[in-house]
Chains A and B, each alone.
Chain A
Amino acid sequence: MGSSDLLTTFCRQAEAMGAQTLCVAEGEKAADRIIASMRPLGSRVALVASPLVEEIGLEEALAGAEFEVEKEGRDFARHADIGIVEFDLGIAETGTLVHDATDLKKRLASMLPLHCVALLRSGKVVPDMAEALSFYLKSGQWPGYLAMVTGPSRTADIERSLTIGVHGPEGLLIVLLG
Chain B
Amino acid sequence: MKKVNRRTWLSGAATAAVAIAQTATGKAVQVGVPIEQFWADDPTKQPGGAPPGIPPGQVGTRSPFEKLVKSPSDISSRTPLQDLHGILTPSDLHFERHHNGVPAIDPAKHELLIHGMVDKPLVFTLADLKRFPSVSRIAFLECSGNFRTGKETLSPQDICGLTSQSEWTGVSLATLFREVGIKPGARWFLAEGGDAALMTRSIPVQKGWDDAIVAYAQNGEALRPEQGYPVRLFLPGWEGNTSVKWLRRLELGDAPWQTREETSKYTEAVGEGKIRQFSFDIDARSIITFPAYPAPVQRGWIEIRGLAWSGRGTVERVEVSTDAGKSWQVATLQQPVLDKAHTRFRLLWHWNGDETEIMSRAIDSTGYVQPTYRQLLDARGGNSGYHMNPITAWQIKRDGRVLHRPETR
Q: Do A and B interact?
A: no
